[in-house]
Amino acid sequence: DGDWPRPPKCRIIAVANQKGGVGKTTTSVNLAAALSMHGLRVLVIDLDPQGNASTALAIEHRGDIPDVYQVLVEDRPMAEIIKEVPDMPGLWCAPATIDLAGAEIELVSLVARESRLARAINALDTISFDYIIIDCPPSLGLLTVNALVAADELLIPIQCEYYALEGLGQLLRNVDLVKAHLSPRLNLSTILLTMFDGRTRLASQVAEEVRSHFKDTVISTVIPRSVRVSEAPSYGQSVITYDPGSSGAMAYVDAARELAHRAAPAV
Ligand code: ADP
Ligand code: MG
């Protein structure tokens, strides 16, 4: 369906939820892939020391390679660590190595510890990108706070399972704190329901509950549970390139289309 609308200025989106395994990385990588395949220029910043987004995008993230840690802690320019994603024109990745695990503690004693990512992104020529997608670690520590301060928009993936909403209050309180004290422009713009299993009533109940509470913030496309989605990263691919006809791939393209056609929040 051709190219999708180019936002007037770069949309910076933090993908966060302090729970592990809810689909943050899968969502970051696949939305980014879909957007880039529709003519948009996208940078994925891997902010998780596990480096799963880097792996999924086939970007080296072991050993001495320059990474987000050096940007946050050692003031290395972001432009120096960004790599092109192989075979994916318009898609770039700022990789994370395991060094980033130390940043959570090392940042504590640095000046402007909550806004170091924001500063690094501001210094980057953001004209070059239509979207910057930040894949957060599963915690509410300083790395996630840096992502929230750097972002205009927060996207929360919610897994359609029991306990899905537990902990969400804590995340939203952190968002309020960031808005009040550090970055008033942050906006919870998008909720994406992930790993939906249509065979269980529970999944539908969770989806309904999330929609009744968060209304239009919830993207209408639901991401189904699909093995193809979980296989793709081990081939260094998004599911959209790995198996374009699979239900997971089509759902991520639909979700990305919705995201691209929603207006970015007024700043
Ligand atoms: P997070 O980044 O929040 O920890 P991930 O994106 O890594 O979560 O997802 C957790 C696990 O679930 C991974 O093994 C991933 O491949 C798998 N997964 C994510 N989304 C789906 C899906 N729609 N269908 C099947 N497996 C999925
Ligand atoms: Mg992850």
Ligand 1 neighbours (beta carbon < 6 A): 20-26, 52, 138, 194-195, 223, 225-226, 229-230, 233, 248
* Residue of the CA atom closest to atom 11 of ligand 1: 21
Architecture field, domain 11-261 = 3-Layer(aba) Sandwich (3.40)
- Separation of 52 CA from ligand 1 center, angstroms? 10
Domain boundaries, the chain: 11-261
- Residue from 26, 222, 240 to probe ligand 1 pocket by mutation (most atoms less than 8 Å from CB): 26
- Residue from 159, 230, 250 to probe ligand 1 pocket by mutation (most atoms less than 8 Å from CB): 230
- Separation of 192 CA from ligand 1 center, angstroms? 13
* Residue of the CA atom closest to atom 5 of ligand 1: 23
> Which residue do the tokens 């972002």 mark?
151
Residues 246 and 189: their CA atoms lie apart, in Å, by 27
Residues 6+ apart with CB under 8 A from 15: 24, 27, 28, 133, 134, 135, 136, 155, 156, 157
Residue 164 has a pLDDT of: 79
Atom of ligand 1 nearest to the CA of 27: 6
Weakly modelled stretches of the chain, pLDDT under 70? 264-267
Residue 244 has a pLDDT of: 97
> pTM of the entire structure?
0.97
Residue 264 has a pLDDT of: 64
Characterize the bridge pairing of strands 91-94 and 83-84: antiparallel
Residue 125 has a pLDDT of: 81
- Separation of 151 CA from ligand 1 center, angstroms? 23
- Separation of 241 CA from ligand 1 center, angstroms? 17
Average pLDDT across the chain, whole number: 94
Atom of ligand 1 nearest to the CA of 48: 2
Cβ count within 10 A of residue 122: 11
Residue 154 has a pLDDT of: 97
Residue 163 has a pLDDT of: 80
Residue 263 has a pLDDT of: 75
Atom of ligand 1 nearest to the CA of 230: 16
DSSP string, the chain: --PPPPPSS-EEEEE--SSTTSSHHHHHHHHHHHHHHTT--EEEEE--TT-HHHHHTT---STT---HHHHHHH---GGGT-EEPTT-TTEEEE---TTHHHHHHHGGGSTTTTSHHHHHHHHS-GGG-SEEEEE--SSSSHHHHHHHHH-SEEEEEEESSTTTTTTHHHHHHHHHHHHHHT-TT-EEEEEEEESB-TT-HHHHHHHHHHHHHHGGGB-S--PBP-HHHHHGGGGT--HHHH-TTSHHHHHHHHHHHHHHHSPPPP-
